[in-house]
Amino acid sequence: MSQSAKQLAEFGKQHISRGISRSTNLVIERAKGSYLYDVQGKKYLDFSSGIGVTSLGHCHPKVVKAVQEQAAKLNHAQVNIVFHKPMLDLIGKLKPVMPSTQFDSFFFWNSGAEAVEAAIKLARHATKKQNLIVFQGGYHGRTVGTMSLTTSKTIYRGRFGPLMPGVHVAPFPYCFTCPVHRAVPQKHNIINCCDNPIEQVELLLKQQTTPDETAAVIVETILGEGGYVPPPKSFFPKLREICTKNNILLIVDEVQCGFGRTGKMFAIEHFGITPDILVMAKAIASGFPLSCIVSNKELMDTQPPGSMGGTYSGNAVSCAAALATLEVFEEEKILENVNNRSSQLFSLLNSRVKSLLPPHIGLDIRGLGLMVGLEFTGVPPGFAAAVAKAGVENHDIILLTTGIYETLRLIPPLTVTADEINDGVERLSQAIDMALKKLEKDGNI
Ligand code: PMP
């Protein structure tokens, strides 16, 4: 007897830990390209891409074929017993797309958090120092180690302590909702405002954690869970300079923003610097569990043999999916599509969406490539979530919120078409309109 979507959702609520927060109650059965289909065959335009995982769209035929073939050939080979071919092929394909030729030593895990943990271990062991500097609003995972680096929301760490000691937090240059200039909002756009985080890192090194005890600075190139915030151009060159001067490693976490999402293969390429360790995951294998850290060989080889890895590290099927993903990037000129669709999206958001808002509601449209944040001001708390809810319930589009302010994030697949962008903005506009009408009805505007 087939169960209704409602019954299945109830079953899920009953038996899946409530520690997972789910933004919809959809029960999805299959997906293709930019669309998800629920158990009743209803179609949803997916502007979430599983938070940037299914970047080539769902079930890209080339990835599916590679996975099917690999699954029939070799599922698993334990990496601390043998080398396996899919991993070696993948490294061969990854090396040329790295942002610098100095990235020539790789290792793989299953999830982003595991890779971040590995980067911390690598930095600590190599430098023989312990402390870490992270940035306000950063998200690096939910394991015991990574939650200690995560400051995007208290829910990820509150009452799960004690947290890992030796973590110091500097502000991220979140210029739109800048805590430094909150008191004088008219100064929001002054250039020097963005230097404050750099000054704060320097102060941390003078007042809280000496360079002699600081192993690494770890930072997302673009804040993801913290609000989809790209830093100003000057931020990374200055941060790189501080790290180099003080013999501190710079780790960039590109779990969410890497792999073409911003229109370049890695987001750090927009900022003209080379970090010491790059962390990637999510989009790397188009939906299969794989994460990776890369550094130069000299640094990576400071690790004692046996200290890295785990049972499923660099699973053969996931590596085959990642290899196929990189081939699709070349064959389908994915980066070109990201840049074209990005210009289209920004221009539509600026015209269509801005024109919907009454004068007292502000909107910051920001981001790079197809990693786009829309932050509303002058709205009551919960407005962005209300838009996302109206999106899924009334306009068949999956939208996500991010951060602690009223921000929506748009993460369409990197393969999204011009028509799908037009359609997505239309549905988004209708969802915003609906949320605005509700505010009006409730007397909130
Ligand atoms: N770092 C960043 C920047 C992320 O966005 C995420 C996941 N949202 C993680 C790390 C953790 O990755 P995972 O959920 O695969 O452990």
Question: Looking at ligand 1, which residue's alpha carbon is closest to its atom 1?
Answer: 140
Domain definitions of the chain by residue range: 5-59+333-441, 74-331
Distance 101 CA to ligand 1 centre (A): 25
Q: pTM of whole model > 0.90?
A: yes
Q: What percent of the chain has pLDDT over 70?
A: 96
Q: How far is CA 219 from CA 2, 27, 200, 318, 348, in A?
A: 47, 35, 14, 26, 31
R_g (Cα) of the chain, nearest Å: 22
Mean pLDDT throughout 333-355?
A: 97
243 C-beta closer than 6 A to ligand 1 = no
What ligand 1 atom has the least distance to the C-alpha of 291? Answer: 15
Ligand 1 pocket, residue 112 CB under 6 Å: yes
Do residues 319 and 88 make contact, with C-beta atoms less than 8 angstroms apart? no
Hey, which CATH number is domain 74-331, 3.40.50.800, 3.40.640.10, 2.60.200.20, 3.40.190.10?
Answer: 3.40.640.10
CB 148 within 8 A of CB 133: no
148 in contact with ligand 1, CB cutoff 6 A: no
pLDDT at residue 184 tops 60? no
pLDDT tens-digit profile of 269-324?
999 999 999 999 999 999 999 999 999 999 999 999 999 989 999 999 999 999 99
Q: Quick one: tokens of 89?
A: 């092929």
Cis peptide before 162 (omega within 30 of 0): yes
Looking at domain 5-59+333-441, what is its CATH homologous superfamily?
Aspartate Aminotransferase, domain 1 (3.90.1150.10)
Respond yes or no on whether ipTM tops 0.90: yes
Which is it for strands 249-253 and 214-220: parallel, antiparallel or unpaired?
parallel
Cα separation, 348 vs 262, whole angstroms: 18
Mutating to test ligand 1, I would choose from 48, 53, 135, 140 the residue with most ligand atoms within 8 A of its C-beta, which is 140
* Residue among 53, 108, 114, 139 to mutate when testing ligand 1 (max atoms within 8 A of CB): 139
5-59+333-441 and 74-331, same CATH topology = no
Comparing CA positions, the residue from 276, 294, 254, 267 lying closest to residue 95 is 294
Average pLDDT, the chain: 95
State pLDDT tens for residues 381-440.
999 999 999 999 999 999 999 999 999 999 999 999 999 999 999 999 999 999 999 998
**pLDDT of the residue at 180:** 65
**Rounded CA gap, 221 and 127, in Å?**
22
Question: Is ligand 1 within 6 A of the CB of residue 220?
Answer: yes
Nearest CA to ligand 1 atom 12: 112
Ligand 1 within 6 A of 139 CB?
Answer: yes
User: Please, which pLDDT band fits residue 115 given cuts at 50, 70 and 90?
Assistant: very high
pLDDT at 267 over 50: yes
pLDDT value at 188 more than 60: no
Token digits of residue 142: 């939910």
pLDDT at residue 46, rounded to an integer: 98
Nearest atom (ligand 1) to Cα of 113: 16
CA 87 to centroid of ligand 1, rounded, Å:
22
pLDDT of 179 higher than 90 = no
**28 has pLDDT over 80:** yes
The protein residue with its alpha carbon nearest to ligand 1, atom 13, reads 112
Start-to-end C-alpha separation, the chain: 48
Q: Which atom of ligand 1 is nearest to the CA of 110?
A: 15
- pLDDT value at position 176? 85
109: nearest Cα among 321, 319, 313? 313
Contacts of 22 (CB under 8 A, 6+ apart): none
Mean pLDDT value across residues 144-160: 96
- Pick the residue whose CA is nearest to atom 14 on ligand 1: 112
- Could you give the CA distance from residue 192 to residue 347 in angstroms, rounded to a whole number? 28
Contact 239, 217 (CB under 8 A): yes
Instruction: Decide which of 180 and 153 is more confident.
Output: 153
